[in-house]
Structure 1
Amino acid sequence: MGSKWKKVKMALGSNFCIYVPTASPPQSAAMLLSSAAEQRAAGGSSATARRPWSPVLRLSRSLSRSSSSKKCTICLASMKQGDGEAIFTSECAHSFHFKCIASNVKHGNRICPTCRAKWKEIPIQASTSFDPAMTLIRRPPPRQNSNRHIFPANEPSVFNDDEALDPQTPNNNINDGNALDESSLKRVLMRTYTEVPAVPRLSTVDDFAVLIHLKAPGSTSARAPADLVTVLDISGSMAGTKLALLKRAMGFVIQNLGPADRLSVIVFSSTARRLFPLRKMSDTGKQHALQAVNSLVANGGTNVAEGLIKAKKVVNDRREKNPVASMILLSDGQDTYRVSGGWDSGSGGGQNRSNQGLLVPQGIDVPVHAFGFGTDHDASLMHSISEESGGTFSFIETESVIQDAFAQCIGGLLSVVVKGLRVIVESASPSIGIQSLKTGSYTSHLTTDRKSGRIEVGDLYADEERDFLVSVNIPKEMELTSCNETLLLKVHCSYTDPMTNETVSLVTESVTVERPKNVGNKNVVSVEVDRQRNRLQSAEAMVQARTAAEEGDLTRAVSILENFRKILSKTIAARSGDRLCIALDAELKEMQERMASRRVYEHSGRAYVLSGLSSHTWQRATARGDSTDSFSTVQAYQTPSMTEMLTRSQANMFQPARSSR
């Protein structure tokens, strides 16, 4: 008897009840469980006692009340309390008779009949020798308001309660005057390379490549403080190991922020809440942040847009601003609250970005670095969010590397040395026109007369590099001219030093090409130019392969990647053993393997391709696949600050997790 009652109490604690047959009078779930247990203990022979133990989702009181006037959209019959029909409510909040929807999804259909939303959790109906017993593939619903103790009862209408910056030392990470001098002396390095050093005097070239190479100054003893807003998924699918690893990763982030950095944490499931306003990460601030993060409990659906809207409000409403600001977004599931779907088929070019109907909040003016966690997240949505905002998209395939992925990201965010970098390119002659600016995801603009253009580069981390290809036409020179070279372009750039808030302008770089009568054997293609052309063409091949894969033609997708790999192997840079080209080939091969079947592509291929695209078009390190250093392509964009933070993270993994008191 005792063991039977134990089972009954366990069932009640899990919010389960026995299916109510239509022939029986209305009874509560608890009464049926009690009756079943007593009859089993007494050796009874009722049908309820003999029925196999098959739990179903408990009907809530609110659902029963609301169901009294509803109709099942499948059979059109009414759904009333106590009529013996179990009711299933989906993630998108639509209700159906359990037997109707179980039959509807029997063959793997995961689409809501009412709103066409895609479900992660579906009901199934299993036949037995007696009445069909129904069950739901779903975790028991968590206790209501399980996060109430860490959420404020009421949020303010305006998030202008950010902790004030120190007015005496706005950049608290600046140690002394020498640090300011050091910052002002180090400037962005700019170099230019022509496709070949010389063009015959009487020849014309319609598409001549010029490479603009930029490198940010290195790390100093000081850095600009940052405002960081993290937007974290705590839906039901994050329960267990995922949430534990997320807490540990956030603990690492918190511990590595400086006393002048400010942090705010937004969490979202079915709704979104701000755990605390932007707060300086002093010892007290860190303690509060750790306590809030460690108290989180996973439950509910996945409302990414609501989380971003809340984070946007934190950034836009703040009274004071640190020199650097960014968001980190992490989600492991499909957004169950999207109004409309769609696939962003753009290549990531800054001129033509569009969210294609994806629910991306507008007006986010800081980069959102998105992390797709696991193999069930919406990679297209996450990639679109990062592209629209100027951030990167990373794919965390294996749970255990989430901390490393965060570490690499904040290693960059906490080392910003250049703000608002802009490059201006001008034609140096009326006969020379700028044909194109190949900038990847960076926004660029070319005047209608093709005489000038600009590239909006934005922020650079310490030691970070950027490369842009400019295509120009070269006219022939008159035979009688005494000039042995042609002036093609003038390039100059300006930016803001975040440490001093001063505008820095670099000396204009003039780009010339030699014009001999005859070109000798030394006129070889520049490896630097060829390397960047290979990078851009690799990204184009990835876009084309992804388009084919999304259209269902995986064979063509694999063929596109294979054909480009053959072209890549014959380039000047690849034949010279260039490391980037070797790494690009390895990455393209990995993408081919992740397009081996529709299941593999849906499982990891799409996210892997998108994270690679994000990395190559922004020229910034992202995590992709099952680790942050799967290929040297990742390392090619890593900065020393990122590498140092990764080293800290990996050393931290061998230490006990820090808990709040």
Structure 2
Amino acid sequence: MGSKWRKMKKALGLNLCTYLPRTLEEPPSSCLNSAEKLSDAALLSPVNWPMTPTPSSYGLRLSRNSSKSSKQTCSICLTKMKEGGGHAIFTAECSHSFHFHCIASNVKHGNQVCPVCRSKWKDIPMQHPMLDLPVLFDRSHNDAAINLARRLHPPRRVMNQGHAPQIQASEPSMFNDDEQLEQLPVIPGKSSSSNDVSDNNRPVRMMDIKIHPEVSAVPRAQSCGNFDVLVHLKAAATVAGHAVSENNQISQYPRAPVDLVTVLDISGSMAGTKLALLKRAMGFVIQNLGSNDRLSVIAFSSTARRLFPLTRMSDTGRQQALQAVNSLVANGGTNIAEGLRKGTKVMEDRREKNPVSSIILLSDGRDTYTMNQPEPNYKLLLPLSMHSNDNKRFQIPVHSFGFGSDHDASLMHSVSEISGGTFSFIESEAVIQDALAQCIGGLLSVAVQELRLEIDGVCPDVRLGSIKAGSYSSVVLDDGRSGIIDVGDLYADEERDFLVSINIPAENAGSETPLLKLRCVYKGPLTKEIVTLESHVLKIQRPEKVGPEVVSIEVDRQRNRFLAAEAMAQARTSAEQGDLSTAASILENCRRVLSETAAAKSRDRFCAALDAELKEMQERMTSRHVYEASGRAYILSGLSSHSWQRATARGGDSIDVSSLVQAYQTPSMAEMLRRSQAMFLGSPSNHRLIQPLLSFTSEPKPR
């Protein structure tokens, strides 16, 4: 026992062992020089969730109850463990115990170390594939048995550069082994023009349209070019998973289930606290998916492997997912392209499809296999089926999360832009779970799909000049007589604002001029019905003379947003060319222009937050080192958020900037984020992150 204990202490010194039980010969924990640490396995346990992770090279401290609870709970499946409970119990030579089927699954995924203390095992637990009985293989005394096991379970070796090979089970050539969907209750639906929402036989209207002209009147004899009209769209809110229309009518439609593939970086740079926090965040995601949602996990380093097929997150599915995530070990290089290829293959090969599909990519590094050219082509990272086009623009978005100072923000932002997803910058790995929670909150609340906005000029002489729609695909048709914006999916209570520039002709007579009429066409995620919603005709007053007109704050606010986004893009271009002074000057000039607008002079909170964000970007351009470490990622995350009008996670501790990050946050996102942050309340290090969110979302959104 003494020699084994010395080996364990040596492993602890090498930071290979995260927790060691105290023996009778050891002094109390208060006398130890080294802090006891949580293992990656224990991080997934709900018993330990209220603890606050802090980024540290020394790991995370173990709570007082963890040691006792770990003896009663299997650290892999997180369920109670006792003799006579119908499951075999395996006790390793390091004295830690697990359900036999759990640890056998762990070993099958390539791990041959204790998930709790990280000590290497000589006795390897396996399961006989035919009899489903426990079999224990001693590497030093039972070579024949090992050879038999290898014939029964042929492993595939994945060679990681500079590291020992990792053993994993072979994968099928086709990922068409997704778990069958549970039959959802049939919801009667029919095509409708949703102008009549009071009829109980019709579905609840899931969209609302509002139109704001920049001014309410134009002199009759005056023509007006570049007249801005704001189109405001808003999806229905939800109460306990049911849709609520503008007149508070509640629909009995359940939310649309999700097919989610997470592509996780487990390269060598993820070792230690990063991987532990990533596992914990994935545990949160797994616990908050519904029984009709399906999840598959892709882990990549030098190569990529699928941990398990698309599986419904029933009790059994959750247990299997937790086991697989807990088996992850960090080593090797960073092959993002291979991870994305395998993640998209899971989506493409599936036999059945849930109404909502999405891929989440998390990485802290740079692709060292595909994107090592001087001018990399980021489109090569995704197959053509994932590229934005008229047919599949919003089918499977990739929401990417880059954390730390070494990730490739340009790559991850490009992947999201190509697929129609968002890019988030996680400056501190301590908030990985919060960032994922916000994203999941949106995906689990999709209210409408394939939303298309059609704009028609009513007056024969009215022409559309341009459409400002950010990253959304838009086009002006019929010589300016009409236009189309492809919006895609909207989360419950989510809003979209677009500026349409038109010309207004002079009038010889008449007190008003009809300008535009709008039409929304969208699909219900569950009913699959196509719904058409038409707006009223926008008319503008045409008196002989017009007094001083006040520009609409709603219109001016969106003008400011587009001005800020354009300045961010220009500043980024200058910074990438090495001219940081010009980049900072562009942002400063934009701040000065915004300060003179009607919205700024009326102390509009959204405009004030834009100014704070631009200032934060300036400060992240003080030097090339600062820009490379955080400035680029911060700007790209801001561009992603404003161009898609969707909340992203972003670095920065400023209250105003943190508030702006939540400007597009929906109630469903806020609720999921609240669940995540509730686990960490009481930690002084996280108050700074929580308070700005609470103070902002308690007030009306800046619309």
TM-score category of the 2 structures, normalised to the smaller one: 0.7 to 0.9
| Aligned AA (1:144) | P
Give the deviation of 1:432 after TM superposition. Answer: 1.5
Partner of 2:611: 585
Q: Separation in 1 of the partners of 2:676 and 2:649?
A: 14
| Aligned AA (1:291) | Q
User: Does the aligned pair in 1 maintain the 2:447–2:491 contact within 8 Å?
Assistant: yes
Q: Could you say if the C-alpha distance between residues 299 and 253 of structure 1 is closer, same or farther in structure 2, counting changes exceeding 3 Å?
A: same
Q: Separation in 1 of the partners of 2:526 and 2:202?
A: 7
1:250 matched to 2:266? The reply is: no
Partner of 1:318: 350
Q: Separation in 2 of the partners of 1:209 and 1:588?
A: 24
SS in 2 for 1:577: coil
Partner of 1:576: 602
Q: 1:162 aligns with which of 157, 178, 187?
A: 178
Give the deviation of 1:361 after TM superposition. Answer: 3.4
| Aligned AA (1:485) | E
User: Does the aligned pair in 2 maintain the 1:396–1:626 contact within 8 Å?
Assistant: no
- The structure with the larger Rg is 1
| Aligned AA (2:659) | S
Q: 1:397 aligns with which of 427, 432, 437?
A: 427
Q: Separation in 2 of the partners of 1:628 and 1:261?
A: 36
Q: Separation in 1 of the partners of 2:584 and 2:382?
A: 31
Partner of 2:623: 597
Give the deviation of 1:615 after TM superposition. Answer: 0.4
Partner of 1:74: none
Describe the superposition over 1:325-379 as per-residue Cα deviations: whole angstroms up to 9, x where unpaired. 11100010011012564679xxxxxxxxxx6666443322401000001110000
Partner of 2:114: none
Counterparts in 2 of 1:118-129, with a 5 A limit? Answer: none
User: Does the aligned pair in 1 maintain the 2:206–2:447 contact within 8 Å?
Assistant: no
Q: Could you say if the C-alpha distance between residues 564 and 389 of structure 1 is closer, same or farther in structure 2, counting changes exceeding 3 Å?
A: same
Q: Separation in 1 of the partners of 2:446 and 2:269?
A: 35
Give the deviation of 1:167 after TM superposition. Answer: 2.6
Identity of aligned residues (%): 64
Q: Could you say if the C-alpha distance between residues 183 and 259 of structure 1 is closer, same or farther in structure 2, counting changes exceeding 3 Å?
A: farther
Q: Separation in 2 of the partners of 1:341 and 1:462?
A: 42
Q: Could you say if the C-alpha distance between residues 183 and 307 of structure 1 is closer, same or farther in structure 2, counting changes exceeding 3 Å?
A: farther
User: Does the aligned pair in 2 maintain the 1:259–1:281 contact within 8 Å?
Assistant: yes
Q: 1:363 aligns with which of 355, 374, 385?
A: 385
What TM-score do the two structures reach when normalised by structure 2? 0.68
1:511 matched to 2:538? The reply is: yes
User: Does the aligned pair in 2 maintain the 1:565–1:585 contact within 8 Å?
Assistant: yes
Counterparts in 2 of 1:381-460, with a 5 A limit? Answer: 381-447=411-477, 449-460=479-490
Q: Separation in 1 of the partners of 2:206 and 2:340?
A: 35
Q: Separation in 2 of the partners of 1:409 and 1:471?
A: 33
Q: Separation in 2 of the partners of 1:160 and 1:368?
A: 21
| Aligned AA (2:383) | P
User: Does the aligned pair in 2 maintain the 1:396–1:627 contact within 8 Å?
Assistant: no
Give the deviation of 1:187 after TM superposition. Answer: 2.1
Q: Could you say if the C-alpha distance between residues 340 and 201 of structure 1 is closer, same or farther in structure 2, counting changes exceeding 3 Å?
A: farther
Counterparts in 2 of 1:2-21, with a 5 A limit? Answer: none
Q: 1:520 aligns with which of 533, 536, 547?
A: 547
Q: Separation in 2 of the partners of 1:591 and 1:462?
A: 31
Partner of 2:110: none
Q: Separation in 2 of the partners of 1:207 and 1:592?
A: 31
SS in 2 for 1:604: helix
User: Does the aligned pair in 2 maintain the 1:401–1:626 contact within 8 Å?
Assistant: no
User: Does the aligned pair in 1 maintain the 2:209–2:535 contact within 8 Å?
Assistant: no
Give the deviation of 1:296 after TM superposition. Answer: 0.1
Partner of 1:117: none
User: Does the aligned pair in 2 maintain the 1:531–1:581 contact within 8 Å?
Assistant: yes
SS in 1 for 2:370: coil
User: Does the aligned pair in 1 maintain the 2:301–2:335 contact within 8 Å?
Assistant: yes
SS in 2 for 1:466: strand
Q: Could you say if the C-alpha distance between residues 271 and 622 of structure 1 is closer, same or farther in structure 2, counting changes exceeding 3 Å?
A: same
Give the deviation of 1:140 after TM superposition. Answer: 11
Which residues of structure 1 form unaligned runs of 5+? 15-138, 172-180, 345-354, 657-661
| Aligned AA (2:506) | K
| Aligned AA (1:201) | R
Q: 1:308 aligns with which of 315, 340, 343?
A: 340
More deviation, 269-278/621-630: 621-630
Partner of 1:185: 204
Give the deviation of 1:498 after TM superposition. Answer: 1.2
1:634 matched to 2:661? The reply is: yes
Q: Separation in 2 of the partners of 1:395 and 1:612?
A: 9
SS in 2 for 1:493: strand
Describe the superposition over 1:35-87 as per-residue Cα deviations: whole angstroms up to 9, x where unpaired. xxxxxxxxxxxxxxxxxxxxxxxxxxxxxxxxxxxxxxxxxxxxxxxxxxxxx
Q: 2:670 aligns with which of 643, 648, 659?
A: 643
1:531 matched to 2:557? The reply is: yes
Partner of 1:194: 213
Q: Separation in 2 of the partners of 1:190 and 1:632?
A: 26
Partner of 2:365: 333
Partner of 2:639: 613
SS in 1 for 2:296: strand
Counterparts in 2 of 1:106-145, with a 5 A limit? Answer: 141-145=162-166
SS in 2 for 1:616: helix
Counterparts in 2 of 1:462-481, with a 5 A limit? Answer: 462-478=492-508, 481=509
SS in 2 for 1:219: strand
Q: Could you say if the C-alpha distance between residues 654 and 432 of structure 1 is closer, same or farther in structure 2, counting changes exceeding 3 Å?
A: closer
Q: 2:323 aligns with which of 291, 296, 299?
A: 291
Partner of 2:680: 653
Q: Separation in 2 of the partners of 1:225 and 1:474?
A: 46
| Aligned AA (1:445) | V
User: Does the aligned pair in 2 maintain the 1:340–1:358 contact within 8 Å?
Assistant: no
User: Does the aligned pair in 2 maintain the 1:401–1:628 contact within 8 Å?
Assistant: no
| Aligned AA (2:545) | N
Q: Separation in 2 of the partners of 1:314 and 1:232?
A: 14
Give the deviation of 1:471 after TM superposition. Answer: 0.4
Give the deviation of 1:508 after TM superposition. Answer: 3.2
What TM-score do the two structures reach when normalised by structure 1? 0.72
| Aligned AA (1:198) | A
Partner of 2:246: none
Give the deviation of 1:293 after TM superposition. Answer: 0.3
| Aligned AA (1:429) | C
Q: Separation in 2 of the partners of 1:534 and 1:183?
A: 39
User: Does the aligned pair in 1 maintain the 2:459–2:513 contact within 8 Å?
Assistant: no
| Aligned AA (1:158) | M
User: Does the aligned pair in 1 maintain the 2:398–2:422 contact within 8 Å?
Assistant: yes
Q: Separation in 2 of the partners of 1:327 and 1:272?
A: 15
| Aligned AA (1:295) | S
Number of positions where the alignment pairs a residue of Structure 1 with one of Structure 2: 500
Q: 2:567 aligns with which of 541, 547, 559?
A: 541
